[in-house]
Amino acid sequence: MLKPYLQGAIRQGTRAASRQFCTQSLSLRLQSLRLKDPSSISLTHTAYRGSINTSQLIRFCSSCSTTDSDITVTMTGKEQIFTYDGKDYKGVTEGKATILVPAEVNDKGQQVFYNPIQQFNRDLSALAIRVYGEEVVERKAAQAAKAAEAAAKRKDKKRRRAAADEGGNRPVKVQVTDDGKAAEATNGSETQPENGVNGTSTEAQEPQATSTVAEVPAKATEAKEGQTEGEDAKAVPEKETAPPRFTILDALSASGLRALRYSHELPFVTSVTANDLTKSAIESMKLNIKHNGLEDKVVTSHDDAIAHMYRRIADDLSNRDRFGNPSKENRYDAIDLDPYGTAAPFLDAAIQAVRDDGGLLAVTCTDGSHWAGHCYAEKCFSLYGGAPVKGLHSHEVGIRLILHALASAGSKYGLTIEPQLSLSIDFYCRVFVKVRKSKDAVNYQGGKTMIMYNCPGCSAWETQPMVRTRAAPKKKEGYFYKHGLSQGPPTDSHCRHCGSSMHIAGPMYSGPLHDPEFIQRILDVLPTVDKSVYQTTSRIEGMLQTALEEYLPGPEPAEDLDPKDKELARVDHYPFFVMPSRLAGTLSTQQPPDDMFRGALKHLGYRVTRSHCRPGSVKTDAPWDTIWFVMQEWVRQKAPVRTEKINSQMPAYKLLGLDKTDNLDTNGNATEVKKADATVEVAAEVEEEAAKEEEEEEEEKTTDVEMKDGSEDKVEQKLSEEALRKTLVFDENLAKLGKRREQRKLVRYQMNPRENWGPMTRAKGA
């Protein structure tokens, strides 16, 4: 039944290539041909060149033989079944690419690894590389135009010099021969000596040589004289310049889906290398590349990813220019590392294989139990060079551990990283960094690496840089950053808030996690993209907007420093978030509403925002003393605590001040103190308060002098916070102060998309 109608449709078309296969369009086309059953059809041809659009399919089939079955496309309802060499495959479309997976799963398990949950990762990666690539291509085009202009000027200068030589304007040169005679040469042409080598006369040879040399300039002069002024004014038609080269490496490609999407969706990409170690993955990749018709853009590589990158690095090191600098021809503009597990083994090779003038390195790590958990501290340190933390902010620490591993891998080669976007997503971490070669920037790495002292009892922390970077005066004018040894730990072995033991985490990266301009460019692109291609745009917008808002700028140095040095030394002064629910649990009290908690911090003069890592998080520049004061006031005003259930081993014991009114018996339980001891303690407290009042009076006397010396802001901030603490009341006005006023609703955090979602199992490939 199908054949007559199909042949009739084929006669209407011509030969054409194709890229996409649209089930709905094909069904509508067949319905227009009055087929009774358009949901079950079979199209067979031999010269298949990829999945194709319906109209192009009909045109393309006009040149195809239908006697042999090279590929069969079967439509069963909404499902696409493709048959290659007698094997059935299902078509899985994501973005503009389609990959083929076996129609029937055998006992070996998943043959082609595909996790639909990571579509957000792939959509975000395509958009990030698009924004980055457009900037790079524009820069390369500008550099090429500048180089072409310089070459044209050199060529024009050379042409003018040649014209001047022909005109006889150059001075006469005098050359002394071996026998001491002077031979004159005009306009660069030397006069031959009277006798040749054997003493014979050269007069007969002279006209022949002269005519031979002068023949070409004469013809060129005649040609120029024959040209009219109009013809001379016409510009010589320039050759079409090739587009700037932009290459991507998908180092661990598996099915090749990322490579296919980059080739389909990024028009400026000239080449994508899809590499994998397993033979079955390469076979699947080649089939998918053929299916998508991208043989001209996607190149497969059956190799170990580390060996592939080091081999290209070695080729560049072996090919040096006349100044001794290694070549950069084999370096990629962007490298995507998306392994099953940790990316740590690939970092050293990847950071050298990407361009060192701002190349983009995209890294995924799915081993969250290492960098975001405290049970495998030894494994985390061996992979990323730092210890993890125990607490709800462990994912933020994990991001900084991964960035620290990247920075450490590059610094030994004089390479520095510039984080563009660093996100903790679902069960994995995704970071985008630029790589640059800069000796000056590498010198600041010690100051942008920190150790964290974390309290597992109350979640408080203290940070300490590995190298002290501070402003120092120059000999003449201005200031510069001086690097030195950092001082001892900023905290005791026990937490000053709750008395629990402090734990060490890190070293880790302490600079900003994001580049606001990079994030904003992605947000600007989102309204223009096709929502059917990028199906996770709503979540991308919400998460990027949250990441854009989460950074709280720290205080700017007062010294007159070079802006470039300021940017190189910039660190994140408020690197981690707090969870009001965790704070309330520590005090065994009811959680304050988020609006009231934020309003209390704002009331005291501090800034608040949220983190993309966890819903309900609060990032603030308030110190821990202020945070615990807010919680203590919440307990006193709104949510009293039953102190009889709190013993001396609990963090709340010291946080609520119970250690000042209770003593311990032999069993370690809290009991009332004796009256004599209480009297002594009260007297001591009275003396301490009197001493504090005297100190405050002395400070008030010197306030005017200090303000004149330039510390007016610090004094006002201290006095204002002390005054505002007395006016802190948890009521509706405070909640209104802390309420977020959003213009529209955003999907900031992921909801469970389906049952048992996660990293899935590894593909069973040979």
pLDDT of residue 54: 40
Query: Which pLDDT score, from 0 to 100, does residue 72 have?
Result: 53
Beta carbons of 432 and 361 less than 8 angstroms apart: yes
Of the spans 35-44, 384-393, 703-712, which averages the highest pLDDT?
Answer: 384-393
- The pLDDT score that the predictor gives to residue 743 is 75
For residue 306, the SS3 value is helix
pLDDT > 80? residue 292:
yes
Phi, psi of 609 (to 5 degrees): -150, -165
The model's pLDDT over 324-333, given as tens digits with 9 standing for 90+, comes to: 999 999 999 9
DSSP 160-182: HHHHHHHHT-SPPEEEE-TTS-E
Residue 259 has pLDDT above 50, yes or no: yes
Average pLDDT of 684-690?
Answer: 46
**Mean pLDDT within 25-48:** 37
Tokens of 155: 């060529």
Helices (H), 51-167: 54-60, 119-167
Between 178-187, 247-256, 374-383, 532-541, the lowest mean confidence (pLDDT) is in: 178-187
Q: How far apart are CA 522 and CA 544, in angstroms?
A: 8
How far from the centroid of its chain's Cα atoms is residue 527's Cα?
A: 21
Q: Is the pLDDT of residue 32 over 50?
A: no
* Banded model confidence at residue 760, pLDDT cuts 50, 70, 90: low
Poorest-confidence range of 46-55, 359-368, 526-535?
46-55
Looking at residue 242, what is its pLDDT?
77
Ordered strands of the 189-190 beta sheet:
173-176, 182-186, 189-190
Percent of the chain with pLDDT strictly greater than 90: 57
Name, in order, each residue with C-beta under 8 angstroms of 194's C-beta and a sequence gap of 6 or more.
201, 202
pLDDT > 70: percent of the chain = 69
- Specify the higher pLDDT residue, 763 or 535: 535
Looking at residue 412, its pLDDT comes to: 96
pLDDT in tens, 112-132: 667 888 899 999 999 999 999
Specify the pLDDT at position 661: 65
pLDDT in tens, 90-109: 899 999 999 998 887 654 55
Q: Report which of 333, 357, 346 is spatially closest to residue 251, judged by C-alpha positions.
A: 346
- Tokens in use for 286? 């080649």
Q: Report the pLDDT value the prediction gives residue 765, as an integer from 0 to 100.
A: 54
Domains of the chain: 2-85 (no CATH), 338-568 (3.40.50.150), 581-680+715-766 (no CATH)
The residue that leads in pLDDT, 665 or 350, is 350
Neighbouring CB atoms inside 10 A of 309's CB total 27
Higher pLDDT, 596 or 697: 596
At residue 696, the pLDDT reads 53
pLDDT of amino acid 117: 86
pLDDT tens for each residue of 481-526: 999 999 888 999 999 999 999 999 999 999 999 999 999 999 999 9
Which band of pLDDT confidence, cut at 50, 70 and 90, is reported for residue 371? very high
Q: How far apart are CA 4 and CA 7, in angstroms?
A: 5
The mean pLDDT of the chain is 79
Is it the case that residue 677 has pLDDT exceeding 80?
Answer: no
* Confidence bin at 86 (pLDDT 50/70/90): confident
- Could you tell me the pLDDT band of residue 148, with boundaries at 50, 70 and 90? confident
Lowest pLDDT segment from 71-85, 182-196, 205-219: 205-219
Q: Decide which of 617 and 103 is more confident.
A: 617
Asked whether the predicted pLDDT for residue 708 surpasses 50, the reply is: no
> Does position 409 have pLDDT exceeding 80, yes or no?
yes
Average pLDDT score over residue span 12-23: 36
How far is CA 760 from each of CA 112, 236, 282, 299, 577, rounded to the nearest angstrom?
12, 61, 21, 27, 30
**Per-residue confidence (pLDDT) for residue 80, from 0 to 100:** 74
